[in-house]
Structure 1
Amino acid sequence: MHVVFAAAYVARDLHQGQKDKGGNDYFSSHLLPVGKSGYDWKEQVVGLLHDAAEDTSNDISTILHLVKQKLETWMNNPDDKSWIDDFEEDFFQYPAEQCHMPTEEEWDEIATALQLLNHHTAPNREEYLSRICVNKLALKVKLNDLRNNMDISRIAEPTEMDMERQKRYKHEYERLMDAFQRIISTDDWPNRA
């Protein structure tokens, strides 16, 4: 869980001062719920960081470097348990004494998902969604992202434009859910991530 907590601290710092369309703190109203919706630690990390390269001046390698730095700080101070203070109510802490430092393969998997989730890297929305449909980690996080985006209660007085955006989100969600159903129907259950 160290890596999830590190991603939460980094995401909160990077998005400090940003607001969502309803004027709410962006980290608390969007990134934290998307992160918490993740089934495993990778989905939680990517959920917390999925907008960082898109909505801040940092690239993915810088963002992941910040997470790694936070992890190394905690690994070098094993008696310091203050790292759990801010997010202990949000994420279940596995009872483990050691801090798991993700492997290079795991970091690459996370970086790939973050790259795919950055709509600035695709020429258009159609290509953006198509690329997400073939990466299970990015697809799961995007579904969580859209579920949170479709929560219109985050906007006190929704406009016609907000309602139109909700329709687009619903259509995209259905498309991505179809892709997800295809993926899980062809996967071996024990190997699903």
Structure 2
Amino acid sequence: MSNIEESKNISNHIIQAAVLIAEELHRGQTDKAGVDYFESHLTTVGEAGANWKEKVVGYLHDAAEDTEYSVEQVMQMLKGRAGNLLAENEAKEIKLALELLNSQTASSREEYITRLMQSKLACQVKLNDLTHNMDLSRIAHPTEKDYARIKKYEKEFELLKDYLK
């Protein structure tokens, strides 16, 4: 097996570990359209990732925010399922992105969006998250509240996109 094939196998194993964790932690949750949260939102954001780290963080981005688990606990689960395949520097980068993506730890939405700029990985996953969140076709009967939320998301999207340029 070549180094490229081996690297791809390792990356796929880590992604699969994240998929299983996300599916387990979000079991029974639904999105704004009433659809299974893992199958709709997390799978969409995870699969939108351009590389394995974006996929891993995409699947896990809401774990500390929408479940009883902390980022530290989620990372322990990931390390446990990925075995020693997850290098320490990669684990640190993923952990930082997950910490930054937890909006509950920010004092305001503005602080939350600004602090995402500490990590290109967190920014890219947030762009993928916002892209899916802005898709009103998922909601059968959008309300004025939905349209207002989309308007806010569009501004945040442009800000983060400009940062990544």
Amino acid at match of 2:68: S
- Of the three residues 12, 16, 25, the one matched with 2:36 is 25
1:13 corresponds to 2:24: yes
TM superposition outliers: structure 1 runs of 4+ over 6 Å: none
- Of the three residues 42, 45, 49, the one matched with 1:38 is 49
Q: What's the CA shift for 1:180?
A: 1.1
Match of 2:109 in 1: 125
The 5 A counterparts of 1:1-193 are 1-72=12-83, 101-181=85-165
Task: In structure 1, list runs of 5 or more residues that go unmatched.
Answer: 73-99, 182-193
More helix by share: 2
Identity of aligned residues (%): 51
Task: In structure 2, list runs of 5 or more residues that go unmatched.
Answer: 1-11
Distance in 2 separating the partners of 1:22 and 1:158: 10
Distance in 2 separating the partners of 1:127 and 1:180: 17
Q: How big is each residue's C-alpha offset from its partner over 1:34-67, in whole Å with a ceiling of 9 and x where there is no partner?
A: 0101111111000000000000000011111112
Q: TM (normalized to structure 2)?
A: 0.90
The number of equivalent residue pairs is: 154
Distance in 2 separating the partners of 1:69 and 1:131: 29
Q: TM (normalized to structure 1)?
A: 0.77
Which secondary structure does the structure 2 equivalent of 1:133 belong to?
Answer: helix
Bigger radius of gyration:
1
